[in-house]
Amino acid sequence: MLHSFRPVIHEFSELLVLGTLPGPESLRLGQYYANPNNQFWNIIYRVLSKTDIDPEYSGKLSFLLGRGIALWDVFYSAERSSALDADIRNGAPNDIPRLLKQYPRIKRVVLNGRKAEISFNRFFPGTDIDAVYAPSTSPAFAKMSLDEKTIEWKTAIMSGK
Active site positions, annotated? 38
Query: Which of 56, 28, 27 lies closest to 41 in space, CA to CA?
Result: 56
Size of the chain, expressed as the number of residues it contains: 161
With 0-12 / 13-18 / 19 or more C-beta atoms within 10 angstroms meaning exposed / middle / buried, residue 135 is buried
Residue 134: half-sphere exposure toward Cβ, Cα within 13 Å: 32
